[in-house]
Amino acid sequence: MNKKIAVIKGDGIGPEVVGEAVKVLDTVAKKFGHSFEYDYQLMGGCSIDACGEPLTDDAIAHCKSADAVLLGSIGGNTTTSPWYKLPSDKRPEAGLLKLRKSLGLFANLRPALLYKELASACPLKTEISSKGFDMLIMRELTGGLYFGERETKEIDGVVTAKDTLTYNENEIRRIAIKAFEVARKRCKKVTSVDKANVLDSSRLWRKVTEEVAKDYPDVTLEHMLVDNSAMQLVKDPAQFDVVLTENMFGDILSDEASMITGSIGMLPSASLNETTFGLYEPSGGSAPDIAGQNKANPIATILSASMLLRYSFDMQKEADAIENAVQKVLEEGYRTCDIYSEGTSLVACDQMGKLICDRI
């Protein structure tokens, strides 16, 4: 197959981890007889520096004309970087939000699973981690607080800031359907996370989710309040299969879920619209503190490339080949510093990429 992939390296560790993911894609292309063409685009701080804005319309058009988008990470140190002196709609993150919105990527899939080889990197007690876990967070990505009306103004001499959380029933229904569809292919359980004891938007979320559940009698639906979910994630993560939630709750819970897998450097993500088009990125950030040092863990980005093959190109055996190679490298004891523990072999970012390529 011939496919065009828009590639956004971004900021911080982005260029390093994307570089390794592209090598992995090239290895897959060679082995399975495909041809991938890469269309490199700028977004985030690097685009601010080069073009004066975090995402240009031209870059959006290039992403739209590709078959899928692979992204590293964007942003810098929020206290020291000059990018954060800019108004909020000109900062690196604004580029990512604009891209998600312009591509209609409302469904963000963030799988969090504990590899048994990394159980010692899991910060939870052994009695909890020994049970293992394998969940998928289905985060709504184009609504809620991230895209609601906001303003900061002085009211009676007092500076006041306002953000609004809005969802309509259609936005809730389409993401709930995605969650139930995915749950059907997994362990057939959806935990819908909300704050229905306080928020109107959450009460609507519950109502619509229950309506959707009627079409999936084979899938169990349970509701859980977000504060309780945060607690359950560290108390008994094995109880979760698909976690369905709105944008902001999903942002927070997915960082928590990723940390209990041992490292945020292990978690891929896919952002999808109604078609097979998608944007694939690691769940973690740009880690400016270790950028340029060849220390970052490229596995989350490599696994994002594998999700890209699976969801956008329907290349199942190619995706399996990448995932098996990652599993093998972990079994053989190779670790980047974020997942290193005594008795394992410490490797750099590019070495990890090569080890994975060699096992495909």
Residue type, 126: T
- List, in sequence order, every beta strand (DSSP E) within the chain: 2-10, 35-41, 68-73, 107-113, 134-140, 150-155, 158-163, 189-194, 220-225, 242-245, 268-272, 278-282, 334-335, 345-346
Do 59 and 270 meet the contact criterion of CB atoms below 8 Å apart? Answer: no
Active-site annotation holder among 11, 23, 98, 146: 146
By the rule CB under 5 A, 20 interacts with Mg ion: no
Residue with smaller CB distance to Mg ion, 268 or 353: 268
Q: How far is CA 159 from CA 79, 152, 153, 184, in A?
A: 21, 7, 6, 49
Does the active-site annotation cover 195? yes
- Which parts of this chain interact with ligand IPM (CB under 6 A)? 75, 93, 96, 251
Restricted to residues 153-192, the positions that interact with Mg ion (CB under 5 A) are none
Does the active-site annotation cover 200? no
Do 305 and 280 meet the contact criterion of CB atoms below 8 Å apart? Answer: yes
Q: Which residue is nearest to ligand IPM (CB)?
A: 93
Separation of alpha carbons 36 and 251, rounded Å: 31
Residue with smaller CB distance to ligand IPM, 75 or 288: 75
Residue with smaller CB distance to ligand IPM, 98 or 310: 98
Does the active-site annotation cover 58? no
Which residues on adjacent β-strands are paired with residue 190? 221, 242
Cα angle, residue 312 at apex, residues 309 and 315 outer, rounded to 5°: 40
By the rule CB under 5 A, 281 interacts with Mg ion: no
Closest distance of CB 255 from Mg ion, Å: 6
Nearest alpha-carbon partner for 99 in 342, 322, 271: 271
Q: Is 71 exposed, middle or buried (0-12, 13-18, 19+ CB in 10 A)?
A: buried
Closest distance of CB 133 from ligand IPM, Å: 20
Which residues on adjacent β-strands are paired with residue 140? 107
Active-site annotation holder among 4, 255, 328, 350: 255
14 binds, among Mg ion, ligand IPM, none (CB under 5 to 8 A by kind): none
Does the active-site annotation cover 251? yes
Separation of alpha carbons 72 and 77, rounded Å: 16
Active-site annotation holder among 11, 67, 194, 251: 251
Residue with smaller CB distance to Mg ion, 32 or 147: 147
List 20, 140, 246, 251, residue binding Mg ion (CB under 5 A): 251
Residue with smaller CB distance to ligand IPM, 41 or 271: 271
**Strand duo 2-10 + 35-41: pairing:** parallel
Active-site annotation holder among 49, 89, 227, 320: 227
Closest distance of CB 111 from ligand IPM, Å: 14
282 binds, among Mg ion, ligand IPM, none (CB under 5 to 8 A by kind): none
Closest distance of CB 75 from ligand IPM, Å: 6
Query: Taking the CA atoms of the chain, what radius of gyration do you get in angstroms?
Result: 20
Closest distance of CB 331 from Mg ion, Å: 29
93 binds, among Mg ion, ligand IPM, none (CB under 5 to 8 A by kind): ligand IPM
Does the active-site annotation cover 146? yes
Active-site annotation holder among 178, 195, 295, 338: 195
Q: Which helix (H) or strand (E) holds 317?
A: helix 316-331
Residue with smaller CB distance to Mg ion, 27 or 142: 142
Closest distance of CB 251 from Mg ion, Å: 4
Which are the catalytic amino acids?
146, 195, 227, 251, 255
Q: Applying CB under 5 A, which residues contact Mg ion?
A: 251
